[in-house]
Structures are given as C-alpha cells and as structure tokens.
Structure 1
Amino acid sequence: MNSNIQIVRSLAREVRRVSQNKSTKDNAMLQYILEQAHAHKETSQVLCKAREELKNLAETYVCYLKSQQTCKDIHKQYAGKGERSIKETADLVGFKLPHDPK
C-alpha cells in the first residue's frame, strides 16, 4: 500500500504542476484523485476487485503528464524560429564548426 501512496502523491504533484489552480482544496481534479484513492483502498482489500487497479491507473496518468511536459519542453527548445544561422543550427544539434583560416 505504501507504493500506492507514493504513486498518488506523484500524480498529485504532476497535476499541481500543470494546473492553474495550485490550491488542493479548490482543485476539483485533486479532490477526485483523493476520493478515488480512498475508494480503491476499500475495494482492493474488501471486495478483491482488481488489486492493482489504482496503481496501474495512477502510473499511467503520471507517465502521461510527465510525457506532456517533456513534449512541451522539447517543442519549446526545437520549435522553428524562422531562419537560423549555420552556427546556431550547429549548436542546436551539438556540432562544432571548423575555423576559417583567413
């Protein structure tokens, strides 16, 4: 159950990071996550429903939110900004230009 708590915390952290509303009490998404965590706690032990259902669902959402943030970061870094110089392009992909012997 300890791993489930860690997963729910990481999910709440990711939701807070992408949400405009940082307050836990006012954020409907966080309230829903906490309600579902409490509901699955009972069902996984009492009714023997899918024991790892909460864990798998939360891990999927955490992966999705982290991937969305990574995608935004990559897009911001490599998005087209019009024409770039040869030096800027080489720096972007990690190459060095040979020096001109003039």
Structure 2
Amino acid sequence: MSKFNELINGDQPVLVDFHATWCAPCHTMAPILEALKTEIGSKARIIKVDIDKNQAAARQYNVRGVPTFILFKNGKQLWRQSGAIPKQMLEQAINQAL
C-alpha cells in the first residue's frame, strides 16, 4: 500500500484501474488500457489494483463496482468513472490532468 500511496501522491497523473479477475467488463478494458499506456508513454502512469487482493484500498476509495477508474495527481482525486468506458474518455481525463 505504501508504494501505491507514493505513486498517487506524486506530481505525475496516475490512473488507477480498480478491477477483479471475475469481472467481464474489466477483461474488456484490459486491451484498451494497454493501448492507452502505449499512447501516453511516460506522461502518466496506469496501475491496476485487484479489489479482492487489496480490499483496504477498495474500501478507502469507496469502490462499489468494477471496473472503477480513478485519476490521481498530487494525492488528489481529479476524476472518477465506473464501468467499461471508451479509451477517448480515459485519454481526455489524463490530458486534462497534465
């Protein structure tokens, strides 16, 4: 959890994908996130958090459904969205945080 806190408190935007292995929409989002990661390069980080293995983080950020995406910068939650969403929406949120 300390590595997670270190990442979200940095000045680089971090998109956190709260997901679960049993979640079909999460599997749908995986290739979209990979493509996005390639496009944004080092401008922002994308990290995945399995809610079953990291229940404390899921509770802390009130994650009720998966996938839930939360964009952090300097420890602040800048944007949040649940469910499978288009890559453009994720891209737009990240670009606004840069």
Q: TM-score range by the shorter chain?
A: 0.3 to 0.5
Q: Going by fraction, where is helix more abundant, 1 or 2? A: 1
Quick check: which has more Rg, 1 or 2? 1
Q: TM-score, normalised by structure 1?
A: 0.33
- Larger RCO, structures 1/2 (Cα 8 Å, 6+ apart): 2
